């Protein structure tokens, strides 16, 4: 694991469990040595370049605080040697962009770092393989990226005689389009001919924050309640929280700019489905904002069996950690 924040209190239980730790800064290296960590130890590097669908998801380059800056390599070598640490893994993660050439460059730069640590056996390129959720979005060509990275590792082996075990973290790639948010149309309002038709859903940033935070695009389908309402209307879809930022149809990459969608003519009470919600949605949502409870979650198996995997949060659960003033 790699942690932006790693404290002595947080590291001790990880050490007891044998968790594999990547140090992300010089101070984390010193902390790991101080606690006598004997598990598998790695270093997360910032190779100097990044790639992201937006600036907020670009976690490499000089504008990113993640990982050890690549120019500190001599300093890290000296520190690791002085502390007697055995580096087994070199890790980098540059973000969630789709440009294969950036992935190629990041792999090459990270392998150069691996070359100076003879004890390294594992090479981790992180995740961030961009998934297309809507038509027109560019996804990472994983076959092209994989072929290029394979070639880089083979060249590394040819020049060093060392075989590295490649690790990737394809969470979003596997899960992004496996989930959906099922909601209902709560209200419909408009701001006149010069304005917009707003479709208000009974969900929002409390369940799916990506549109509000990143300007991310998610397919939205309104299910008409009858054939008489099967036409389409251009509308802006918004969430139920008390701020204009709870926007479900922003302009691509611009989280505070309204963008209309052509949807089946909505009626209050109709179902609306937001697709592409399998990754970084429930886990990243602004839970309990405006006192909305966590929504229930169900899992649909390959046999179409439906299983409840999380219950709706109750009011008592929302309040259980609060204490009355005395």
So which residues are the catalytic ones?
A: 242
- Helix residue ranges, H only, the chain: 8-17, 26-34, 73-83, 100-115, 142-160, 171-175, 210-214, 315-319
- Residues, the chain: 326
- Helix residue ranges, H only, 18-99: 26-34, 73-83
Helix (H, G, I), strand (E, B) or coil at 129: coil
DSSP 212-272: HHH-----EEEE-SSGGG-SEEEEEEE-SSSSTT-BSSEETTEEEEE--EEEE---TT-EE
CA atoms of 80 and 78, how far apart (whole Å): 6
């Amino acid at each position: 694991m790699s942690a932006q924040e790693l404290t002595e209190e947080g590291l001790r239980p990880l050490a007891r469990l044998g968790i594999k730790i990547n140090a992300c800064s010089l101070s984390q290296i010193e902390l790991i040595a101080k606690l006598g960590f004997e598990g598998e130890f790695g270093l997360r590097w910032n190779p100097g370049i990044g790639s992201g669908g937006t600036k907020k998801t670009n976690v490499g380059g000089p504008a990113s605080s993640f990982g050890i800056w690549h120019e500190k390599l001599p300093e890290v070598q000296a520190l690791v040697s002085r502390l007697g640490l055995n580096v087994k893994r070199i890790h980098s993660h540059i973000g969630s962009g789709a440009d294969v050439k950036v992935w190629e460059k990041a792999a090459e730069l990270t392998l150069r770092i691996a070359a100076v640590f003879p004890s390294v056996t594992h090479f981790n390129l992180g995740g961030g393989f961009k998934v297309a959720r809507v038509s027109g979005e560019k996804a990472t060509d994983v076959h092209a990226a994989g072929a290029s990275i394979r070639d880089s590792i083979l060249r590394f082996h040819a020049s060093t005689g060392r075989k590295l075990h490649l690790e990737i973290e394809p969470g979003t790639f596997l899960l992004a389009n496996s989930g959906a948010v099922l909601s209902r149309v709560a209200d419909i309002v408009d701001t006149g001919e010069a304005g917009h038709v707003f479709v208000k859903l009974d969900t929002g940033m409390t369940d799916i924050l990506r549109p509000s935070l990143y300007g991310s695009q998610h397919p939205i389908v309104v299910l008409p309640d009858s054939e008489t309402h099967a036409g389409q209307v251009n509308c802006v879809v918004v969430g139920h929280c008390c701020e204009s930022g709870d926007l479900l149809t922003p302009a691509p990459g611009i989280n505070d700019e309204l963008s209309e969608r052509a949807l089946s003519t909505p009626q209050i009470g109709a179902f609306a489905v937001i697709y592409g919600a399998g990754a970084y949605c429930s886990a990243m949502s602004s839970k309990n904002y405006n006192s909305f409870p966590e929504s229930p979650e169900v899992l649909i198996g390959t046999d179409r069996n439906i299983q409840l995997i999380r219950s709706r949060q109750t009011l008592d659960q929302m309040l259980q950690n609060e204490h009355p003033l005395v």
